[in-house]
């Protein structure tokens, strides 16, 4: 692990060292307190807010609370006189999902699952009197499951994952391995679509032992949210491959008339190192319909206009996502409170906004303008920040940087039990696009907060790919320098146990102060940080 220990004036990078403290910055950082942090977070992470899931009651309550706080602070509503930026978002519910084998109906979410993404706008229906079993659906040098087989117009059954030509890695899969498997699966489906397959039955063992909660999520594709942007709307018009994921038991039911089993076919392929593709005579039918349901979701924006006539057109953005993952159906505690993820970051945005608005009231406001923005839909795929990056309220070319706080209230695994557990922060992406931004960050830390700045997650080989997993990334992909402040993964991540009782409020406040001091420097320095790199 590479760390930067910045407790002394040894930080002398390109002329940037530990500068004299700005007395105004120090004064107004005093408004960032553990007490105020507790006030905000005890509301946002309460059971009443039901885990703040995007498109649900709790997220709307959180948005209303943040709007009220922005209004109290005197921030301007920048979206045509409003604080909310509505997001055009929908979910696609499936109905009439049917799968029959020899006329016998199978049970949805138990025996089979149909992903909404693989159902066209008009739905699908097929009837077949035979199917093509095509092993692992692989076509590569030395191994071809489709050799001598006609795919066009066929219902094709394949194993959803796996490659008999490669030895499986021992132990649980990491994110990098899972990502490779997902890419490989998409490549298989694309090959089948391009070659005219009518539909695909994918044997998916994850259906075999699903919990009731997981089955509920899979019904109607779990209510997956989709941005109704130009790209997605265009993709919806494209032809998709009808896909039905089936359990091992359902696959065995299809195979038994031919005297075959899933385990037997896997063994045959493994033993011979050759495909076992063949046509299976059996009646199989399936159908599904898809319905679009619009979802209420909004980013919450508060604007502080800069004081310098020339510089105020330039915008510094401070972000955090206010959504979380909502309710669970199992266990005694059903609320995923998301106190750290990302109630802490949202609280940080509110604290920093208060410090800057107090400075402006005292005649010490920032020279550049600052947009304080709490976004929704991060947990659904960075949707709110993606929407803003495509529909910016202020021109992206005028946006000098994004400072993103996502989880700043806890101690991650690697620092637990260590002497420095209450004085560190992971700083992610600070030099991906601007070498100058990291130097500004380090000099600010050396001058004011003297925390340990850990750059572990800047490693391009990071298996967690943290750099791409929060809202700053939707600014970075447009060439805008960013810093992502993060406390690291911990045992309560995405669990109901991510409660306010486990937040270290002094540490949350100190991390928010570090972000504030960095924002103060960026908002008041003569020049915006130079963009001199292209690593996104």
pLDDT at residue 219 tops 80: no
pLDDT in the model for residue 3: 41
pLDDT at residue 208 tops 90: yes
Strand partners, 82: 79
Computed over every residue of the chain, the mean pLDDT equals 93
Euclidean distance between CA atoms 393 and 301, whole angstroms = 9
288 and 417 in a single domain? The answer is no
pLDDT in the model for residue 9: 34
203 and 164 in a single domain? The answer is yes
pLDDT in the model for residue 330: 83
Helix (H, G, I), strand (E, B) or coil at 317: strand
Range of the domain at 335: 3-87+297-445+455-524
Characterize the bridge pairing of strands 143-144 and 139-140: antiparallel
234 and 160 in a single domain? The answer is yes
284 and 313 in a single domain? The answer is no
User: Average pLDDT, stretch 208-213?
Assistant: 81
pLDDT in the model for residue 18: 54
190 and 274 in a single domain? The answer is yes
User: Average pLDDT, stretch 11-22?
Assistant: 59
283 and 314 in a single domain? The answer is no
pTM score, two decimals? 0.87
pLDDT at residue 527 tops 80: yes
Helix (H, G, I), strand (E, B) or coil at 266: helix
The pLDDT tens digits of the residues spanning 179-192 come to: 788 888 899 999 99
Helix (H, G, I), strand (E, B) or coil at 444: helix
pLDDT at residue 318 tops 90: yes
Of 405, 428, 408, give the one whose Cα is nearest residue 481.
428
pLDDT at residue 2 tops 60: no
Q: Which residues, other chains included, contact 363 with Cβ-Cβ below 8 Å and sequence gap of 6+?
A: none
User: What is the count of structural domains for the chain?
Assistant: 2
- Taking residue 450's Cβ as centre, other Cβ atoms within 10 Å add up to 16
pLDDT in the model for residue 169: 65
Question: Between the CA of residue 410 and those of 342, 492, 509, what are the distances in Å?
Answer: 11, 10, 11
User: Average pLDDT, stretch 165-169?
Assistant: 78
pLDDT in the model for residue 209: 87
Q: What angle do CA 15, 19, 24 make, to 5 degrees?
A: 140
Structure confidence at residue 10 as a pLDDT band (50, 70, 90): very low
The answer to whether position 396 is within a domain reads yes
Where a domain ends, among 236, 264, 294? 294
The answer to whether position 358 is within a domain reads yes
pLDDT at residue 480 tops 60: yes
- Please check whether residue 17 is in contact with residue 446, taking contact to mean a CB–CB distance below 8 angstroms: yes
The pLDDT tens digits of the residues spanning 105-117 come to: 999 999 999 998 8
Question: Between the CA of residue 107 and those of 200, 209, 281, 293, 536, what are the distances in Å?
Answer: 18, 14, 22, 24, 45
The pLDDT tens digits of the residues spanning 353-402 come to: 999 999 999 999 999 999 999 999 999 999 999 999 999 999 999 999 99
Question: Between the CA of residue 240 and those of 119, 230, 293, 382, what are the distances in Å?
Answer: 7, 18, 20, 24
Where a domain ends, among 236, 269, 294? 294
pLDDT in the model for residue 6: 38
Alpha helices (H) along 283-428:
345-361, 383-390
The answer to whether position 128 is within a domain reads yes
308 and 278 in a single domain? The answer is no
pLDDT at residue 528 tops 50: yes
Provide the CATH number for the domain around residue 72: 3.40.630.10
64 and 201 in a single domain? The answer is no
pLDDT in the model for residue 171: 64
422 and 468 in a single domain? The answer is yes
User: Average pLDDT, stretch 234-251?
Assistant: 94
The answer to whether position 534 is within a domain reads no
116 and 212 in a single domain? The answer is yes
Where a domain ends, among 249, 276, 294? 294
Of 412, 329, 338, give the one whose Cα is nearest residue 376.
338
Euclidean distance between CA atoms 389 and 395, whole angstroms = 9
pLDDT in the model for residue 218: 67
pLDDT in the model for residue 536: 52
Weakest-pLDDT range from 114-118, 217-221, 311-315, 520-524 = 217-221
The answer to whether position 16 is within a domain reads yes
pLDDT in the model for residue 19: 76
Quick one: 148 exposed, middle or buried, by C-beta within 10 A (0-12, 13-18, 19+)?
exposed
pLDDT in the model for residue 12: 37
pLDDT in the model for residue 170: 66
pLDDT at residue 420 tops 70: yes
The answer to whether position 531 is within a domain reads no
244 and 363 in a single domain? The answer is no
Euclidean distance between CA atoms 32 and 351, whole angstroms = 5
């Amino acid at each position: 692990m590479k760390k930067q220990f910045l407790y002394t004036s040894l930080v002398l990078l390109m002329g940037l060292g530990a500068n004299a403290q700005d007395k105004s910055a120090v004064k107004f950082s005093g408004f960032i307190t553990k007490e105020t942090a507790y006030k905000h977070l005890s509301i946002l992470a309460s059971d009443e807010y039901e885990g703040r899931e995007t498109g649900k009651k709790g997220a709307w309550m959180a948005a209303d609370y943040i709007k009220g706080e922005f209004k109290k602070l005197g921030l301007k509503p920048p979206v045509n006189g409003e604080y909310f930026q509505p997001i055009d978002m929908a979910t696609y519910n499936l109905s009439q999902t049917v799968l029959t084998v020899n006329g016998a109906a199978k049970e949805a979410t138990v025996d089979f699952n149909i992903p909404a993404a693989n159902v066209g706008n008009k739905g699908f229906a097929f009837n077949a009197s035979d199917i093509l079993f095509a092993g692992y659906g692989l076509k590569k040098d030395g191994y071809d499951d489709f050799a001598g087989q006609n795919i066009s117009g066929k219902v094709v059954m394949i194993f959803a994952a796996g490659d008999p030509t490669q030895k499986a890695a021992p132990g649980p899969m990491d994110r990098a391995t899972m990502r490779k498997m997902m890419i490989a699966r998409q490549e298989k489906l694309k090959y089948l679509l391009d070659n005219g397959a009518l539909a695909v039955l994918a044997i998916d063992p994850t259906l075999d032992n699903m919990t009731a909660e997981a089955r509920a999520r899979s019904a109607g594709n779990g209510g997956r949210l989709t941005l109704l942007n130009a790209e997605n709307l265009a993709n919806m018009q494209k032809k998709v491959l009808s896909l039905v994921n089936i359990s091992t038991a359902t696959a065995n039911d299809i195979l038994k008339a031919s005297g075959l089993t899933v385990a037997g076919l896997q063994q045959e392929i493994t033993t011979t190192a050759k495909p076992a593709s063949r046509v299976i005579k059996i009646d199989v039918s399936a159908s599904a319909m898809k319905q679009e349901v619009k979802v209420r979701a909004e980013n919450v924006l508060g604007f502080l206009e800069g004081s310098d006539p020339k510089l105020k057109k330039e915008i510094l953005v401070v972000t955090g996502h206010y959504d979380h993952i909502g309710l669970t159906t199992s266990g005694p505690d059903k609320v995923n409170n998301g106190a750290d993820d990302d109630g802490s970051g949202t609280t940080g945005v509110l604290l920093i906004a208060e410090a800057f608005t107090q400075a402006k009231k005292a005649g010490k406001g920032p020279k550049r303008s600052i947009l304080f923005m709490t976004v929704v839909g991060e947990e659904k795929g960075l949707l709110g920040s993606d929407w803003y990056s495509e529909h910016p309220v202020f021109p992206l070319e005028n946006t000098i940087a994004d400072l993103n706080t996502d989880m700043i209230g806890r101690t991650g695994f690697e620092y637990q039990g260590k002497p420095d557990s209450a004085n560190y922060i992971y700083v992610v992406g600070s030099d991906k696009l601007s070498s100058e931004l990291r130097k500004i960050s380090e000099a600010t830390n050396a001058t004011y907060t003297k925390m340990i700045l850990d750059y572990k997650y800047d490693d391009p080989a990071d298996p967690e790919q943290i750099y791409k997993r929060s809202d700053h990334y939707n600014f970075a992909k447009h060439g805008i320098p960013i810093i992502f402040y993060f406390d690291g993964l911990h045992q309560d991540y995405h669990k109901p146990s991510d409660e306010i009782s486990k937040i270290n409020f002094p540490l949350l406040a100190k991390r928010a102060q570090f972000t504030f001091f960095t924002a103060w420097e960026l908002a008041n320095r003569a020049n915006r940080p130079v963009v001199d790199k292209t690593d996104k």
